[in-house]
Structure 1
Amino acid sequence: MKKFTIGLEIPFLSALCIILCAFSDPESIEQYVGFLQKTLSDHYDSNQENGKIKRYELNITNNGFCRYKRYFNNGKTEYFAFKLSKFRDMDYLGNTTAGKLYLKTKGDDVIVQTYKDRGGDVDSMATQVVIPLKNIEAEDLNLIRDNLERIIKLP
């Protein structure tokens, strides 16, 4: 009788695991993007710009782009954009109160556009985007890195 019971338990448990996996919520880019957008927006520190910035826009899109736009008081606009799949590494320089997040790409993958500058409109490429942050813990930074790395691994 014991052999019969064990013989039934193994297929039953295997079938249960397959059913549970079939109905589990697969991870999607929307989940990662939502977390990144909320975290970066909540911790953005406009005070580090010394009053030079009138406003900013920081967007992480569902199609896998990071877009950061700064509008200066003098009318100048700076725009940075890169595809999240080009993310290579990140650094944070500062402490839990205030610092700068450096999002680095694999190469010159960051589009940089400057409008209404004294030197004219300039288009160039860069290897990183720098975002000022405040009140952020090491755990939050680790979660940012994890979400960026998971986006890279998505098909």
Structure 2
Amino acid sequence: MQTSLLSGKKKALLITLISLSGLFFGDFKAFSGEQEWINWGNRFLNENYDPTVEPKLKKYEITLTADHFIRLRKTYQQGKQEYYSFNLNRFTELEYIAGTAATDTLQIKTQADDIIVQTYEDPKGDVDSMATHWDIPVRKLSPLKLDSLKQALNFLKGKGL
């Protein structure tokens, strides 16, 4: 009879540590603190958000805040602004949807109409509404990066308000 050297829980922890180790430049570092996950989440969102899908976009700002909100503000060439925001404690699911050769979509889903959607300076009229999902254009992601984002969002959800 052969016994395993590691228990199931220890194996899962080891796999998680190895998964996180190769994310960026081969650093071997497991995130244990909330601020590390927030910093990593901000770096991920800013490096992988793909503004090229909207040619009239002048600037954007995407942020994962210390109080566990993901916020995106987009400003277009004609002055129109769009604003999206939700608290991670309402997060339920993250889907990765294949798109073009260079761009895919992250679809974030929440428990109910928990995502704030607002527009300002829109010639068609300003909008203030709520949504249950939010599509974020991203550059192609490896499965490892996607899994790490899911881990980050779930970790921060557990630390929610």
TM-score normalized by structure 2? 0.74
Q: Is the 8 A contact 2:68 2:87 kept in 1?
A: yes
Amino acid at match of 1:67: R
1:134 is matched with 139
CA distance in 1, matches of 2:138, 2:74: 14
Gaps of 5+ in 2: 1-29
1:151 is paired with a residue whose SS is helix
Which of residues 51, 56, 59 is equivalent to 2:63? 59
Structure 1 residue 85 and structure 2 residue 97: aligned?
no
1:134: how far off? 0.8
Runs of 4+ in 1 over 3 A off after TM superposition: none
Q: Confirm or deny: 8 A CA contact 2:68 2:157 kept in the other structure.
A: no
Greater Rg, structure 1 or structure 2?
1
Residue 143 of structure 1 deviates from its aligned partner by 0.4
SS in 1 for 2:97: strand
Alignment root-mean-square deviation, CA: 1.9
CA 1:98–1:145 in 2, change beyond 3 Å: closer, same or farther?
Answer: same
1:123 aligned onto 2:128: yes
Identity %: 32
Query: Aligned with 2:146: secondary structure?
Result: helix
Distance 1:75 1:154 in 2: 36
Question: What SS is found at the alignment partner of 1:107?
Answer: coil
Q: What letter matches 1:150 in structure 2?
A: F
Alpha-carbon distance, 1:74 to partner: 1.9
Give a deviation string over 1:27-78, Cα, whole Å, max 9, x none: 33211111111011111211111x1211101000011111011111121100
Distance 1:116 1:26, change over 3 A: closer
Which is richer in helix?
1
TM norm structure 1? 0.77
1:72–1:28 Cα change, 3 Å: same
Deviation at 1:81? 0.4
Q: Deviation at 1:26?
A: 8.6
Aligned length: 130
In structure 1, list runs of 5 or more residues that go unmatched: 1-24
